[in-house]
Each structure stands twice: as structure tokens, then as C-alpha cells.
């Protein structure tokens, strides 16, 4: 396995819509080892997720994993999930404010609106179909990653530029208030 370079905001690859993969392509050793590298790169960078477009490969694959993440200590854990050709459907109009960051946007966080209840359907790395309903902060993580496969970055959803901050200033001025909000979301939605 090897670590992949992560594209930074401004690189056009982050604005591409990734192409879907066939079952045959997914089964190939090339794509299977790419998935191994994507997961390894996400873990090495302490990301909560990583999309193929972020590592210069515009195909419909992203990975999510939260395991006591030091970058996002309030996020509920999510077991490793590799999604191929994912589709998100909103289950309600309800939204919440998330405070997001991104490995492709160095040292910046900001408030975005995310749908609170979603259904996501995808193929796993073995080509099996899955459909799951996801809620709360976890639903935000899914939306952030799948957005990358359609050329969107969290900054596109920042509704108040005054919420933008570096990670240091987030810790200093915004963290405590947001952790309280995040705990209330998790308590209400179970995720």
C-alpha cells in the first residue's frame, strides 16, 4: 500500500464530477488496490473521510471512518465504510448547522447547513448493494464526502463567512459552543 497525495482547494480535479464505475472495473486489482490506498491515506491524515477526487482520481469512490477522531472529537464513531457510486436522498427538509473542515482545505473550518435525515445507497468494494438511513452529525459526514464526488467542497455551503476560522481559533473561540450543539444533535438523532 502507499499514501496518496491529497489535492488542495483550487485544483480543478476537486471540481469534477466523478464517473461511475462498472462492476467489472470495481473488481479489478487496480481499483481494489486504489481503495486500499485511499483508506490508508485517510487514516494517515486523520480524516473522517476521503473521496477519490481528493486524490486526483475522479471515480465514484469515497471512504468514511470515525474512530475517536482527534480532529473531530464530538463526532460519533462510524465503522469503515467504502462507498462506490453512492446516491443520497434527503428524507426530510430538516437541517442542522455543522462545523466542517476538509483535508483539501488546509486549516479552515466553517458552518454549513446539512440535512439531518438522509438515505444513502451505494455498492461496497465487493459490488454488493447497500441502502442505509443516516441521521444527525453522521449524516453530515456522509453528505460532505459524497459532495466531493460531485465537485462540491464544504466552503460552497458556508452560509456565514464570519464563521470561517483556522483550527487554532476554532479551538479557542468556537469549539465549546459547537460541542454543546453537536451533543444535542447526537442526543436527538442518535448520530
**Smallest separation (angstroms) from Ni ion to the CB of 108:** 11
Nearest approach in angstroms of CB 127 to Ni ion is: 25
Residue 28 vs 52, nearer CB to Ni ion: 52
Closer residue to Ni ion (CB): 29 or 70: 70
Q: How far is the CB of 129 from Ni ion (least distance, A)?
A: 25
The interface region with Ni ion, picked from 18-26, 95-103, 118-126, 128-136 by CB under 5 A, is: 95-103
Give the nearest residue (CB) to Ni ion: 102
Spatial separation of the C-alpha atoms in residues 178 and 154, rounded to whole Å: 17
- Of these residues, 24, 145, 169, 181, which one is catalytic? 145
Q: Does 4 bind Ni ion (CB under 5 A)?
A: no
Contact 74, 137 (CB under 8 A): yes
DSSP per-residue letters across 131-177: EEEEEHHHHHHHHHHHHHTBT--GGGGBS-GGG-B-HHHIIIIIHHH
Residues shown for the chain: 191
Task: Say whether 145 is catalytic.
Answer: yes
Q: What radius of gyration, in Å, describes the C-alpha atoms of the chain? A: 16
Pick between residue 131 and residue 159 the one whose CB is nearest to Ni ion. Answer: 159
Shortest spacing between CB 10 and Ni ion, in angstroms:
14
Q: Which residue has the cell 442542522?
A: 96
Residues of this chain, 100-139, that bind Ni ion according to CB under 5 A = 102
Distance CA 80, CA 108 (A): 25
Beta strands in the chain (DSSP E): 49-51, 61-66, 78-90, 95-102, 105-115, 117-123, 129-135
162 CB burial (10 A radius; 0-12, 13-18, 19+): exposed
Min CB(51)–Ni ion separation in Å = 7
Q: Total binding residues for Ni ion by CB under 5 A?
A: 1
Residue 84's DSSP bridge partners are: 61, 123
Binding segment (CB under 5 A) for Ni ion, from list 27-35, 97-105, 118-126, 159-167:
97-105
Which lies closer to Ni ion via its Cβ, residue 48 or residue 84? 48
Give the residue numbers marked as catalytic. 145
Amino acid at each position: 500500500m502507499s499514501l496518496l497525495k491529497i489535492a488542495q482547494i483550487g485544483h480543478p480535479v476537486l471540481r469534477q464530477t466523478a464517473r461511475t464505475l462498472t462492476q467489472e472495473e470495481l473488481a479489478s486489482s487496480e481499483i481494489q488496490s486504489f481503495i486500499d490506498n485511499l483508506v490508508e491515506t485517510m487514516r494517515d491524515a486523520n480524516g473522517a473521510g476521503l473521496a477519490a477526487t481528493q486524490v486526483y482520481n475522479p471515480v465514484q469512490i469515497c471512504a468514511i471512518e470515525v474512530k475517536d477522531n482527534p480532529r473531530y472529537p464530538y463526532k460519533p464513531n462510524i465503522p469503515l465504510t467504502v462507498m462506490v457510486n453512492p446516491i443520497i436522498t434527503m428524507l426530510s427538509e430538516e437541517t442542522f448547522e455543522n462545523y466542517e473542515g476538509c483535508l483539501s482545505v488546509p486549516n479552515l473550518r466553517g458552518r454549513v447547513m446539512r440535512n439531518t435525515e438522509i438515505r444513502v445507497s451505494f455498492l461496497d468494494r465487493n459490488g454488493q448493494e447497500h441502502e442505509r438511513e443516516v441521521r444527525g452529525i453522521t449524516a453530515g459526514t456522509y453528505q460532505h464526502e459524497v459532495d466531493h464526488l460531485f465537485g462540491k467542497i464544504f466552503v460552497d455551503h458556508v452560509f456565514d463567512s464570519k464563521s470561517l476560522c483556522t483550527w487554532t481559533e476554532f479551538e479557542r473561540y468556537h469549539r465549546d459552543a459547537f460541542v454543546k450543539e453537536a451533543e444535542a444533535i447526537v442526543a436527538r438523532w442518535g448520530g
